Amino acid sequence: MYVDEIDFDELRSIIISNVSSKVLMCLFYHEDNVENLTLILDKPSSTVSHTLRRLSRLNLVVKRDNLFYLTSKGHIFVLVMYKFLTNLYFIKQNKNFLSNHSIKSCPDFILNDIYLLINGHFIESDEFDLSKPLNAYLKYIKFSNELNIILPVFSRIHLDAILRLISKGNCDYLTIITSPSILKSLKNTGYIRKFKRFSKDVEFSLWKYDEELDIFLTFSKEVTTMNLFFVDGKFDNSVIFVDESESAFKWSKNLFNYYLENSTKIL
């Protein structure tokens, strides 16, 4: 049986099967034999042998001498399985937040990699400190030499914080992508003029995305922060997502570049 002939119900059963998925993960890192796999998985050798025969039949593993290896198709399958399961875990862990907030403007191919944010956490306001998310934002951006921002809201507090960062010489590169309505507010309130004033000290560019945005993303190599809108369209400043991992930087950069490629440069 070749991979093109695999019944997808059978593939689904592999993902659900604890033994099959563990065998594949073990072989992903290095080849092994039945005896070692039996010890690692703490399963009867008959169970492991049956699983390996099944995976061989699906052309996901192959036996050479006394060792089992992943085939190239098996290697790809493990990568896809890991991504799928980690995406599910992320959704499960954050189901309340995701169900109450909108990410309509985020393209599907970016959402398919949501697992890259698995290391992040939320900082929420509470009855004792309503400004906890804002304070977290101010704390994290001050260590960033390069800031990339998707700006879907007009917020003097956030804009002034970014200007202070530039004025202190802590930020050398700043790129902002915003919507037509926010761009108009930036012009009418003089913020574009303020950013221009620092253009000698910082490499600054401003871009217009022609549709409204629903993700407030700020990221650098050091940190990613993100605020979303409620499903009713109201901006939620009561909680912020923070992730300092390299994988979050990769996710943020992919999202940012998508908008950048579909935006018009203003400055």
What are the distances in angstroms from CA 259 to CA 146, 210, 212, 255? 18, 10, 11, 7
pLDDT at residue number 1: 40
Strands 173-178 and 203-209 turn out to be parallel
Tokens describing residue 131 = 């400004």
- For residue 170, pLDDT over 90 is answered with no
pLDDT at residue number 50: 93
> Cβ(182)–Cβ(191) under 8 Å?
no
pLDDT band at 7 (very low <50, low <70, confident <90, very high): low
Distance from the Cα of residue 211 to its chain's centroid: 22
Global confidence as pTM: 0.80
| Each residue's pLDDT tens digit, 152-164 | 999 999 999 899 8
Share of the chain above pLDDT 70, in %: 96
CB atoms within 10 A of CB 206: 22
Query: Rg for the chain (alpha carbons), in Å?
Result: 24
136 residue type, one letter: A
Instruction: Please give the Cα distance from 70 to 28 (Å, whole number).
Output: 7
- For residue 202, pLDDT over 90 is answered with no
- For residue 198, pLDDT over 60 is answered with yes
Strands 215-219 and 173-178 turn out to be unpaired
**Greater pLDDT, 96 or 114:** 114
| Each residue's pLDDT tens digit, 59-84 | 899 999 999 999 998 888 888 888 88
Please classify residue 72 by burial: count the beta carbons closer than 10 Å to its beta carbon, then call 0-12 exposed, 13-18 middle and 19+ buried: exposed
> Cβ(48)–Cβ(20) under 8 Å?
no
Strands 263-265 and 203-209 turn out to be antiparallel
**Which domains, from first to last, does the chain contain?**
3-82 (1.10.10.10), 94-265 (3.30.870.10)
> Cβ(235)–Cβ(127) under 8 Å?
no
What are the distances in angstroms from CA 50 to CA 53, 56, 97, 122, 145? 5, 10, 42, 43, 55
pLDDT band at 2 (very low <50, low <70, confident <90, very high): very low
pLDDT at residue number 6: 52
